[in-house]
């Protein structure tokens, strides 16, 4: 199958999704492309854009989990209404007759709540449209051997949104992480934490609990200007209305945007040997190993004076916490070590994500300058921000 632009709509209504709490970050990323924001919801930013915008969004959005095309949206309260809504979409403009489409259903607080039934009815409507457009009988069996198309039927409070996933695998799958360690943080969330901080060229960043290196690596990629999606593929590359040459153009442009001369120091520390080995390997995979100093080091014995750490360094970290990993005594020891390091370096700015509601009082000993509710997977967390003395001025 060759890509075909004949049926391409000029402008799409697009949806970028994110972790709850990162909507403002994602909105700013989209606006930086000069794209029009249409509206916002929890975990979603709606915006308009053409085919090139779809490619740019998948290549460049750091805090987005996926990018969808909104194909239809309407209130539905029965299966006839659902069938008619799905059948009203010109599927032949988006998919070939042999498309390997997958229907995924979600229903929240809606009259239609049986997910298998929602999927089955939606598939029947899609088959009807594709069969009619290709001169086949209404009960034709389609091969589904073609390019993958993920279709999401999302019903919330009876409002049904029909969405076509342009990303494929989640955008957190950058392609550099092939080793797993305990309780990893998703790449998209790590990027969001960094974009909420003051990290930029020339600043020093420290992660004393680096795990497999996600926060340091995402920071290095931001500093170097590496598009987070540059090392992976997207389902939309095989969509019939997308232009393969346009993908090549945007990738070539992204390669040219990489800044190999950036000056930044990023320190990745962890007490676990396997974690440091994973960090080093992942940094090489991401093309940023020259920007990251990874060392096995317990925070209890960490001495900043043994490294060239700037006075106004930024700490961004995801320390162990009860629901994530670690024993109570170990966590208490780590908390004491964090407080000691914080008090000994008053010019440092700290950005800490944790599910520990007592972090401010029990660890740092005072309220954070700012705090933001975020979700790390399904765990409700808070992102505590303590500004250093020099940053406050």
pLDDT grade for 139, boundaries at 50, 70 and 90: confident
Q: Is the per-residue pLDDT at 77 higher than 50?
A: yes
pLDDT score at 324: 44
DSSP secondary structure of 81-95: HHHHHHHTS-GGGT-
Contacts of 348 (CB under 8 A, 6+ apart): 206, 312, 313, 314, 315, 342, 388
Is the dihedral angle over the CA atoms 320, 377, 226, 176 positive or is it negative?
positive
Which residues are registered as beta bridge partners of 89? none
Mean pLDDT, rounded, for 177-205:
88
Q: Is the per-residue pLDDT at 200 higher than 80?
A: yes
Domains of the chain: 12-165 (3.30.2130.30), 187-226+264-392 (3.40.50.150)
Which residues are registered as beta bridge partners of 319? none
pLDDT score at 330: 67
Computed over every residue of the chain, the mean pLDDT equals: 92
CA dihedral 383→386→388→389, nearest 10 degrees, is 160
- pTM higher than 0.75 for the full model? yes
pLDDT score at 4: 44
pLDDT score at 183: 61
Contacts of 104 (CB under 8 A, 6+ apart): 119, 150, 151, 152, 153
Q: Angle 273-286/214-224 helices, nearest 10 degrees?
A: 20
pLDDT tens digits for 352-380?
999 988 899 989 999 999 999 999 888 89
Q: Is the per-residue pLDDT at 383 higher than 90?
A: yes
pLDDT score at 16: 98
pLDDT grade for 1, boundaries at 50, 70 and 90: very low
Q: Is the per-residue pLDDT at 81 higher than 90?
A: yes
pLDDT score at 348: 95
pLDDT grade for 182, boundaries at 50, 70 and 90: low
pLDDT grade for 181, boundaries at 50, 70 and 90: confident
Secondary structure percentages of the chain, helix, strand, coil, to 5: 35, 25, 40
């Amino acid at each position: 199958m060759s890509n075909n632009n004949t049926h391409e709509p000029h402008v799409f209504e697009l949806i970028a999704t994110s972790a709850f709490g990162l909507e403002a970050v994602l909105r700013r990323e989209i606006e930086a492309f000069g794209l029009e924001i249409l509206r916002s919801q929890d975990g979603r930013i709606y915006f308009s854009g053409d085919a090139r915008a779809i490619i740019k969004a998948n290549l460049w959005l750091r805090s987005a989990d996926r990018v969808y095309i909104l194909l239809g949206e309407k209130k539905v309260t029965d299966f006839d209404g659902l069938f008619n809504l799905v059948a009203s979409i010109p599927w032949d403009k988006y998919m070939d007759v042999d498309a390997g489409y997958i229907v995924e259903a979600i229903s929240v607080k809606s009259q239609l709540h049986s997910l298998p039934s929602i999927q089955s009815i939606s598939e029947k409507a899609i088959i009807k449209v594709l069969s009619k457009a290709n001169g086949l009988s209404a009960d034709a069996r389609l091969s589904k051997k073609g390019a993958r198309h993920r279709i999401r039927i999302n019903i919330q409070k009876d409002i049904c949104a029909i969405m076509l996933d342009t990303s494929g695998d989640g955008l957190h799958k950058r392609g550099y992480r092939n080793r797993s360690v305990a309780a990893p943080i998703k790449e998209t969330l790590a990027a969001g934490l960094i974009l909420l901080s003051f990290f930029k060229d020339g600043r020093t960043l420290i992660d004393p609990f680096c795990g497999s290196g996600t926060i340091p690596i995402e920071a290095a990629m931001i500093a170097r200007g590496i598009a987070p999606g540059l090392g992976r593929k997207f389902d939309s590359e095989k969509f019939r209305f997308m232009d393969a040459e346009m993908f090549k153009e945007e990738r070539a442009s992204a390669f040219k945007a990489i800044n190999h001369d950036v000056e930044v120091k990023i320190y990745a520390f962890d007490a676990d040997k396997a974690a440091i080995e994973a960090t080093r390997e992942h940094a090489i995979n991401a093309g940023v190993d020259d920007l990251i100093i990874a060392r096995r080091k317990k925070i209890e014995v960490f001495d900043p004076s043994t490294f060239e750490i700037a006075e106004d360094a930024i700490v961004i970290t995801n320390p162990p916490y009860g629901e994530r990993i670690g024993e109570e005594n170990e966590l208490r020891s780590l908390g004491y070590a964090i407080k000691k390091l914080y008090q000994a370096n008053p010019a440092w700015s700290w950005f800490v994500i944790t599910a520990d509601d007592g972090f401010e009082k029990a660890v740092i000993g005072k309220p954070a300058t700012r705090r933001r509710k975020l979700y790390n997977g399904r765990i409700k967390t808070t992102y505590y921000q303590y500004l250093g003395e020099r940053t406050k001025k």
